[in-house]
Homo-oligomer: A and B are copies of this chain.
Amino acid sequence: MSSRITLKDLAKKLNLSPSTISRALADHHSIGEETKKRVREKAEEVGFTPNSIAASFRKKKTKSIGIIVPRIDVHFHSRVISGIEEFAYKTGYNVTIFQSKDSFVREKEITKILQNRMVEGIIVCLSIETQDYEHFKRFKKLGMPLVFYDRVPSSLDANKIIVNDFESAFTATEHLIKNNCKRIAHIAGSQNTDIFKERLKGYTAALKKHHLKIDPDLILPTNNLSYEEGVICANKYLEMESRPDGVFCANDYTAVSVIQVFRKAGINIPKDVAIVGFSNYPISGIIEPNLTTVNDRAFQMGEAAARLLTRQIEDEENYIGSEIITLNTELIVRESSIRKASNK
C-alpha cells in the first residue's frame, strides 16, 4: 500500500535492466520502439509512477522555483503569481510560494529555508520593512538565480522587473492636463519605495512641462495608500480654499476614496474634478463613474519574471545576471477623467 512500485521492480517484471526502463520512459533515442512500447504499457498496467524526488536528487535539478511575496491575497500579487504559474507550468516548473507578511524577519527566515536547494531560483517582491539585503546577497554567492519585481532593492545589482512608473505617472498627469485641469493634486505612496518616488517624479515632470505651478500643499503622502488614507486625503482637499480640479492617485484604492468623498460633498466627477488612479484593480471598472487608471500589467510582470528566472537557471554558464526589464503600462481612459470642456 504505502510502499510503491519502483523502476527496479518494473525492470524485473519485464526482464530488462533498470537502465533500459529509465531510458525508455524518458523516450531516449537509443531504445527501440517496441521496447519503449512494452515498457510504457507495463508501467501503465502496474501503475508505476516514477519517484521524482529520487530523480531530482540524482539530476540535481528540482524543476521548481520559489516565490516570496508580501501577501498572496493582495490582488496585484495574486495576478503576478498567476503569471508566474502560467509560464512555469508551460515550461515544466513547479511554483512554491511563501508570504513574508511584510515582515523583514519572516522574509529572512524564508530565505534560509530556500537555501536548501529545494528550488532552483527565486522570485521576490520585498517586504515593506526590508532595507537591508544581506540575506539576498547570500544567494548570489551560492549561484542561486534571483529576480525581483515591483518592490525591488534599489542599492543591489540584481535582476529586476519593473514598470515604467515615471512615464506612466507622466502620461496620467498629462492626460489630466489635456482634460483642462489646472490645479492637479497627487496622493502619493510611501517615499521609501522607489516606485512611488518615480510616480511622484513623473507627476512633477508633467506639470513642469506644461508650465503649471507645483503646489506642495496638493501633494499628500500616505503610508500604504489604503482606502482609509485616501478618505483622509480627500477631506483635506475639500477643506482647501482653492480646491484641485484634478487628482492623480498613486493607486486605485485612494482614487476610489476620492471619488466617493467628493461625490458625497456634491462635487461632480469628472466635471468639477477629474480623477486618475493607478493599477487597474477590478473596482476601477465598477465604481461610478468608472475610473481612468494605469494598467499595471501584473500578469505580464509575473510571466516576465518567470521567463528571466528560468533563462538564468538553464543558462549553461550558470551566469547570474543583473538585468532590468521595464514593462510599459497603458492608460485606460474611462469616465472619471473626461471633461468635455477640454482645451485645444
Interface residues of A (CB under 8 A from B): 1-2, 4, 47, 49-54, 56-57, 62, 64, 71-73, 75, 77-79, 81-82, 85-86, 89, 94-99, 113, 115-118, 141-143, 227, 256, 260, 282-283, 286-288, 299, 318
Contacts and interface: CB of A to CB of B under 8 A. Distances in A.
Contacts of A116: 49-53
A53 B118 CA distance: 6
A142 to B, nearest CB: 7
Number of identical monomers bound together in the oligomeric complex: 2
30 contacts: A1-B143, A1-B318, A4-B142, A49-B115, A49-B117, A51-B116, A52-B118, A53-B56, A53-B62, A53-B117, A54-B57, A56-B57, A57-B57, A64-B96, A71-B82, A72-B72, A72-B81, A72-B85, A77-B78, A94-B98, A94-B118, A95-B97, A96-B96, A96-B97, A256-B286, A260-B286, A282-B283, A283-B283, A283-B286, A286-B287
Nearest to A113: B94
A35 B145 CA distance: 34
A256 B282 CA distance: 12
Contacts of A2: 143, 318
